[in-house]
Chain A
Amino acid sequence: GEDVEQSLFLSVREGDSSVINCTYTDSSSTYLYWYKQEPGAGLQLLTYIFSNMDMKQDQRLTVLLNKKDKHLSLRIADTQTGDSAIYFCAEKGRPGTYKYIFGTGTRLKVLA
């Protein structure tokens, strides 16, 4: 069945890099996403990657996609206290599929 898995917690020191990992199961996914949820708020799209890409860089964010292993990662360089949040990995299936599968979320805590 469809499933997206993430570790639940990650703690890093301010200034270090954070790497959040995700594994997914639907090889037909067209887009994969990283959403950020700050305390008491809804989810906001942080970045995404199209399934025919291996890597995407956006300022401090680097997304790596390994389609063979169905593994997605999000690297945050120079992590700041404002990056403390829950990060969700999500996949969207082939065109015409309206369902998204979200992971359990990884709570990132940045220590000053």
Chain B
Amino acid sequence: NAGVTQTPKFQVLKTGQSMTLQCAQDMNHEYMSWYRQDPGMGLRLIHYSVGAGITDQGEVPNGYNVSRSTTEDFPLRLLSAAPSQTSVYFCASRRLAGGLSNTGELFFGEGSRLTVL
């Protein structure tokens, strides 16, 4: 199993450009999510999904779009990049089934470092 795979690992954009961060998992996890990590602010949830066709907003959704057409993939789209979106982005997934025996552990990708000039 590869786990959670994110691409690209590094990206530099100019203000106003668009791009998509890719996330794929091979663990058949129902739940997938995107976080951004900024110094002194920890991880903040951008968007999440509990299954194909279902997405919802997190704490900081503005400027980002997501879709979930398959169980495996959960891309994050920046429609018009801004310098405030310079950050490290993490995709995370988890299994939802299992009841009380499910500890809710999140599995993270290695991150995508985005710089917007």
Contacts and interface: CB of A to CB of B under 8 A. Distances in A.
Interface of A: 4, 8, 30-31, 33, 35, 40-45, 48, 50, 88, 92, 98-100, 102-105
A74 to B, nearest CB: 16
Contact of B111 (A30, A31, A42, A88): A42
Given A92-B104, A98-B31, A41 B45 contact: no
A41 B110 contact: yes
Interface residues of B, number: 25
Contact of B103 (A42, A48, A100, A102): A48
B108 interface: yes
A4 B58 contact: no
A48 to B, nearest CB: 6
Residue with the greatest number of chain A CB neighbours at <10 A, chosen from B44, B58, B104: B104
B97 interface: no
Interface in B14-46: 31, 33, 35, 40-45
A98 B48 contact: yes
Interface in B66-117: 90, 92, 103-106, 108-111
Contacts of A33: 104-105
A88 B110 contact: no
